[in-house]
Amino acid sequence: MSILPPSPEFTAAAQKFITFLNKAVTPFHAVKELSSRLTSVGFTELRESEAWNLKPNGRYYVTKNDSTIFAFAVGGQFKVGSGFSMVVGHTDSPSLRIKPISTESASKFLQVGVSTYGGGIWRTWFDRDLAVAGQVIYKRDGHLHKTLVDSREPILFIPNLAIHLEPNREKISINNETELRPVLCTEALAKIEELPAINPSDGPNVLGNHHPVFLHLISKLASCNPEEIVDLDLYLYDSQPAAITGLYKEFISAQRLDNLVGAYTSIEGLIESLGDKSLENDGNVRIAAAYDNEEVGSASAQGADSNFTEWCLRRIFNDLGDPNSSAFERGIGRSYLISADQAHACHPNFSARHEDCHRPSFHSGVVVKINVNQRYATTSTTHSILKEIAHSAQVPLQQFVVRNDSACGSTVGPMLATKLGLRTVDVGCPQLAMHSIREFADTSSILFALKLYSEFYNRLPAVLEDFKP
């Protein structure tokens, strides 16, 4: 396969991803879009609180907190003790989130209080046109309802301080609590705007916790009244759409590449693997999952560090096999996990920050991430298995090892490998500006990842069968 990025195949895959990315502005929206995609190709939604009644050749998915998704397709040859073929990513990215009480004001401006979520490069959030989106819970006719909202239009802005007023122009620092507050509007205009009257309510609501002009906007987006809003979970995001850029249209410039690339390609890779009839002859269960809260440690009900994954796996085995047998434990021995999270490409202006022999580049394939201190879960065995599959898929692989004098990030890979005793490899697509409000990647990675994961689902059982101890 040619790796020239302007080729129609690469461009088409990248453009489909960007279409998804521009809609997936929060983890809630990402799961909604992925769920819709799965439903469109015959997957059935399951409820965590209901019986599942699974069948061989069946396609299913279940969500948690509306921000985590777990999709799977059962092989037609599944039997007690069969294994799992898994690719997982995460739906969350570093972001600013609206505080429960957000009524800030200063110097005749109304502002919105925000919390920093994850390890973002917060200086990049200045001088950007910021929109707001997320989930709204409201109460009507005695019942709680939830809905997603998205302003799409920029309504918030965090202006930089003029360079003339900086006490130290050579080393500018910011206080994330007092200097990272977005401007909503001027007080004067907020006072003269004629807002619809808010009816007092004895029920639970957030009246008084947010500026009335802000609540009116959110209620309009949610198609409810301000006094009906019980709670909000809102994110700020860059309103500038993701785009294919560069002289040769070879780059992707966007927010949330880390890690909606992994979330998207894992689900799409699963779907693509079902294009032929290979599932009918597969004994494994093919799984694609994307978890929330990875950026803050995954310690949540919807995070990878919860028991959610194990419970889903056990329910699959119990529904399809003998719940009193050791099928689950035997199945783990026939299973393999790909943790798909973005990887650090070598920065042309900071190449010395990379280990000399491990400098991933654009258009050179998927990156395998290795760390002997187990910040990544890759082993020589799991790496070898992936190499065999990548060779079959004609997808080039690169390797990343962090310098000994640098800290190493991590993923859900080591976490799930530890909790489940599951063979795992950590991979990712190369990108620059990770955790910035505007990240930078190559177009070819999307297709490479899709081909790798699709081939993985199709070939894993055969590769494991041929692997001789």
Give Cα 388 to chain centroid, integer Å: 27
Which pLDDT value is given to residue 169? 83
Task: Please state, in angstroms and rounded to a whole number, the distance separating the CA atoms of residues 83 and 328.
Answer: 8
**CA dihedral sign, ordered 34, 282, 418, 87:** negative
Which pLDDT value is given to residue 3? 55
Q: Do domains 8-93+255-466 and 95-238 have the same CATH topology?
A: no
Which pLDDT value is given to residue 6? 63
Q: Strand 343-344's sheet: what is its strand order?
A: 243-245, 251-254, 439-442, 430-432, 343-344
- Give the number of residues written for the chain: 469
Task: Please state, in angstroms and rounded to a whole number, the distance separating the CA atoms of residues 384 and 378.
Answer: 10
Question: What is the residue type of 102?
Answer: S
* Residue the block writes with tokens 């063979």: 423
Task: Please state, in angstroms and rounded to a whole number, the distance separating the CA atoms of residues 1 and 15.
Answer: 19
Which pLDDT value is given to residue 198? 73
Task: Please state, in angstroms and rounded to a whole number, the distance separating the CA atoms of residues 445 and 430.
Answer: 7
Chosen CATH of 8-93+255-466 out of 3.40.630.10, 3.40.640.10, 3.40.50.1000, 3.40.50.300: 3.40.630.10
> Mean pLDDT for the chain?
94
Give me the residues of the chain with pLDDT under 70, please. Answer: 1-6, 194, 201-202, 469
Which pLDDT value is given to residue 1? 44
CA gyration radius, the chain: 23
Domain spans in the chain, listed from the N-terminal domain onward:
8-93+255-466, 95-238
Which pLDDT value is given to residue 191? 83
Which pLDDT value is given to residue 2? 44
Chosen CATH of 95-238 out of 2.30.250.10, 3.60.15.10, 3.90.78.10, 1.20.1290.10: 2.30.250.10
| Long-range CB pairs of 322-325, under 8 A, 24+ apart, other chains included | 322/80, 325/80, 325/81
Give Cα 427 to chain centroid, integer Å: 15
